[in-house]
Amino acid sequence: MKTRRWVVLGLVLSFSQWATSAFPQSRSKRPELIRDTGTAEGKDDAEASKEKPYNPLAAAQSIKVGDFYFKKKNYGAAIQRYLEALQYQPNLVRAHEALARAYERKGEIDKALEVYKQLLEKNPSSPKAPDFRSRIAELEKRSG
């Protein structure tokens, strides 16, 4: 019985020695601060500035979420989602049209005009081109 105690005690002592060497605990050293200096100092995020890969599914999802925000009259959030959709699929007519509509509702007529004009430049033979031309004419009357 005494030998078993000595064996157990020996195992406990060897484990405690191993644990202290494997996991040192120096209380005198202060923990290092973890800081994301790019975000903390207001620098541009490298991830956000990168071109997103062509992804029609992600673009469709962004449009869907943008439409949700548009229906809730949160036009700023809708604009962000439509811009994200255009990053995934730059020539998506549906995203351009929705973006221009959101700019109109937000009251940013100049930006809406710019989006419609860019859309006509990129897709002059689009089936919606006559609609875009009429929207441009109507917005130019309202702004000028």
List the CATH code of the domain at 50-143.
1.25.40.10
| Domain spans of the chain, in order of start | 50-143
Helices (H) and strands (E) in the chain, counts: 8, 0
| pLDDT at residue 137 in the model | 93
| pLDDT at residue 33 in the model | 58
Distance CA 28, CA 62 (A): 51
Q: How many CB atoms lie within 10 A of CB 43?
A: 10
Q: DSSP character for 24? A: -
Instruction: Express each pLDDT in 66-116 by its tens digit.
Output: 999 999 999 999 999 999 999 999 989 999 999 999 999 999 999 999 999
Q: Do 97 and 128 touch, CB atoms closer than 8 A?
A: yes
Tokens of 126: 């689009």
Contacts 24+ apart (CB under 8 A), 14-22: none
Looking at every residue in the chain, the average pLDDT score rounds to: 81
